């Protein structure tokens, strides 16, 4: 993984909550988010999960889309997910980093984008010596309230050589 990545809210929060948002900086030359994702993180609910670590990550580039998001996307996805897909199409950038299943499927099947998720980022981080244990990181995300399916956890642990 090198080059650019367009990132959605979920992975930024998940990596921030385990104090490992820095992994993105090491895996990608440029981490870009649409303004809608930036706003979602700043609004972050009552506990603002991951907000402090996100604010410290000055290397994340916030971009305003030059064209409106496809209205069809806005009927199916939240504004951040729709903006990630819109920005990836606008910048002709791959991959997109999205965890939510429906958004991943739409990005991949309708828009032909290469989609990765937080678990894949953790596996790659371990391969590059940036992380010792994928299972521990995934469990910490879950303990912090981030939902990751058992099948994704199992696949990540297998790819990381931990099962």
Higher pLDDT among residues 42 and 153, named by residue:
153
Which domains are present in the chain?
4-159 (3.40.50.1010)
- As given in the structure block, the two tokens for residue 25 are 């900086």
d(CA 163, CA 159) in angstroms, rounded, equals 9
Rounded to an integer, the average pLDDT of 72-85 is 94
Rg (CA), the chain: 15
Which tens digits make up the pLDDT trace of 56-77?
Answer: 999 999 999 999 998 989 999 9
Q: Are the CB atoms for 124 and 28 separated by under 8 Å?
A: no
Q: What is the mean pLDDT of residues 1-10?
A: 90
Question: pLDDT tens, 129-150?
Answer: 999 999 999 999 999 999 999 9
Q: How many CB atoms lie within 10 A of CB 140?
A: 16
Q: Work out the average pLDDT over 116-139.
A: 98
How high does pLDDT run on average in the chain? Answer: 93
Neighbouring-strand partners of residue 62:
33
Q: Cβ distance 53 to 45 under 8 Å?
A: no
Q: How far apart are the first and last CA of the chain?
A: 23
pLDDT in tens, 15-35: 998 999 999 999 999 999 999
pLDDT of residue 47: 60
What mean pLDDT comes out for the span 105-119?
Answer: 96
| Unique residue bearing structure tokens 């996307």 | 73
d(C-alpha 143, C-alpha 43), whole Å: 22
Predicted pLDDT of residue 49: 67
Q: Is the pLDDT of residue 108 over 60?
A: yes
């Amino acid at each position: 993984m090198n080059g650019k990545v367009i990132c959605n809210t979920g992975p930024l929060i998940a990596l921030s909550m385990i104090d490992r948002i820095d992994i993105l900086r090491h895996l990608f030359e440029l981490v870009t988010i649409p303004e809608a994702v930036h706003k979602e993180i700043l609004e972050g609910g009552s506990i603002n999960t991951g907000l402090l670590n996100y604010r410290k990550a000055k290397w994340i580039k916030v971009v305003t889309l030059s064209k409106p998001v496809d209205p069809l996307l806005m009927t199916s996805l939240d504004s951040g997910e729709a903006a990630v897909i819109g920005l990836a199409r606008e910048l002709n950038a791959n991959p997109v980093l999205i965890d939510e299943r429906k958004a991943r499927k739409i990005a991949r099947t309708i828009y032909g984008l290469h989609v990765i998720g937080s678990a894949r980022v953790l596996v790659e981080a371990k391969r590059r010596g940036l992380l010792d244990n994928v299972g521990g990181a995934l469990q910490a995300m879950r303990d912090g309230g981030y939902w990751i399916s058992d099948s994704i956890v199992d696949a990540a642990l297998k790819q990381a050589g931990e099962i």
